[in-house]
Amino acid sequence: MSRPKKERFVFRPPLYADFKPAGIQRHGSVPLSLELDEFEAIRLADYMGMEHSEAAEEMEISRSTFTRLVEKARGKIARFLVEGKHLQIGGGNIHFRGNLIRCHDCGHMFNIGFESDIDICPACGSGNLIDLAGGFGHGNCCRGHGRHGRR
């Protein structure tokens, strides 16, 4: 019997989670899944330029596990680019450290903690808000897990 996967920590939900090459129909293609922990590994290593040991600490995993995540994610991104696959970000055994809210009416985006409850957009006063962590099935489960985000 295999060991259960350790929970990983992701700073906040990605802004975009569904990609496909221009001119390719979405239906009929099998999506390539990039898990949220793989997305976070790419964000920390390649986008933020963090050393693997520092990034592993941020995600509360070992450096060797972090390196495996980065390699797996880079392989998937290469397949997406070379083979023209449909890439979807989601899934994995993760908790978000913070949340991102987007106003559907004015487009304003703001970071909040999971302990905060915001019902109206601070920019336009609209109540038509999109909870990005909720779109990945997270929110209540992420309250109180791990350190609070630094990046």
- 136: domain CATH number is 2.20.28.10
By CB atoms closer than 10 A (0-12, 13-18, 19+), residue 83 is exposed
Number of structural domains in the chain:
2
Whether residue 33 is contained in a domain is answered as yes
pLDDT of residue 51: 98
pLDDT of residue 71: 98
Domain of 80 in residue numbering reads as 8-94
pLDDT of residue 144: 58
Whether residue 150 is contained in a domain is answered as no
pLDDT of residue 148: 44
Q: Does one domain contain both 72 and 106? A: no
pTM: 0.83
Q: Mind listing the pLDDT tens digit for each residue in 61-98? A: 999 999 999 999 999 999 999 998 899 999 988 989 88
Q: Does one domain contain both 101 and 61? A: no
Q: Does one domain contain both 52 and 119? A: no
Query: Which amino acid, 35?
Result: E
pLDDT of residue 1: 66
Distance CA 48, CA 139 (A): 25
Q: Does one domain contain both 90 and 101? A: no
Q: Pick from 100, 106, 104: which is nearest to 149 by CA?
A: 100
Q: Does one domain contain both 24 and 82? A: yes
Which residues, given as ranges, of the chain have pLDDT below 50?
A: 146, 148-151
